[in-house]
Amino acid sequence: MRKLFLGILHVFTVVKYPSMHINLRKYIRDNYYSRLNQLGFIGKDYLAKKKYKVIEFQQEFQQELTFVLPFAYWHHLNGTLLKTISCKDTKDLYFFSEDHEEKHDVRIWRTINPSYEVPNMSHCNTFDFGKWAQVPLKEHFQNDQFKFDKPLLIIANKYNIEWDGVPINYLDYAMLNQIFITYKDKYQIVYNRPSPGQIVEDNSEILNLNEHARIREEHPEVIIIGDLYAQHRATVNSYNHLQLLLYANCSHFVSVHGGTAALASYFGGTNIILSKRGVEHYFDEFSSIFSALSGASILHAKTERAVLQYLAQYY
């Protein structure tokens, strides 16, 4: 039956989007099917409304933040969430789950047999917000412990393999240096680029940008989250927990494509996202699902120059 419906939806997407690349149409097809699949849960979700839903996810961090976490929170609000299962150090993300299991030590890009149980299971040009609810991470994790004399500016960077090739979406040291010099007097800048072992990795190997030592030497006013984590390991649950505590006290972000950008979009304020390439461009996801995560103002910069222009205009 699934194969039949997927075939019908494939034909539908070909007719509706004849000039679109086949891989993009597959994303749309899969999302259509996952939404149709929700019809099978009408009785449990809207009539019985007992705790039954077990949500398990091991794939990329961005998809977990944009699609899965809001779906789980909807079930929590609906009274139908029984258990959540994810990767190591995700318990604080699922703070609302009464039974959360940190089962997986590594993330995978794609499962062989998808369940289609999450209404928005992949990238798409439209999203279904019927079983999708904003997760109040900012409200839950706001604190007095990580407050500073100046407002926070968090720069969330990455430097890893992308699409089995070289890094594309990242801020190099020359760019970081320019931002630090220009804004460190106005803001308490916190720099975040997790090292291997601090977060659960996926198929995108984390590489060495060799910037941390230079930042400590040339910009001692800038706080590196890794250093802060070393100081507070006894009082925080994980690196992810520390990120949540810091981000909850911040309204100014510069981030880069991927899970890094998705997490920074959960806390309101303004998030400048450097994204030079990605499926998100074709589907305009920075204006749809990313901004919906908290109502944050998302500014999509396709070049480093655009990042600097947005900084000058909004920060």
What was the pLDDT predicted at 302?
97
What was the pLDDT predicted at 5?
81
What was the pLDDT predicted at 203?
64
Tell me how far apart the alpha carbons of residues 178 and 193 are, in angstroms, rounded to a whole number: 17
- Coil, helix or strand at residue 200: coil
Burial of 205 (0-12, 13-18, 19+ CB in 10 A): exposed
Of 81, 78, 114, nearest to 3 by C-alpha is 114
What was the pLDDT predicted at 231?
95
Structural domains of the chain sorted by starting position, each given as residue range(s) with its CATH number in brackets: 2-135 (no CATH), 140-314 (3.40.50.2000)
What was the pLDDT predicted at 155?
98
The pTM of this model reads 0.95
What was the pLDDT predicted at 113?
72
Query: Chunked in runs of 10, what are the mean pLDDT values of the chain (315 residues)?
Result: 86 91 93 94 97 95 96 98 96 98 87 83 93 98 96 95 86 97 97 84 78 96 96 94 98 96 98 96 96 98 98 97
C-beta separation of 111 from 59 below 8 A: yes
DSSP E strand boundaries for the chain: 53-56, 81-87, 100-104, 152-156, 188-192, 223-224, 252-256, 270-274, 297-301
C-beta separation of 271 from 265 below 8 A: yes
Chain-centre distance of CA 260, in angstroms? 6
What was the pLDDT predicted at 4?
87
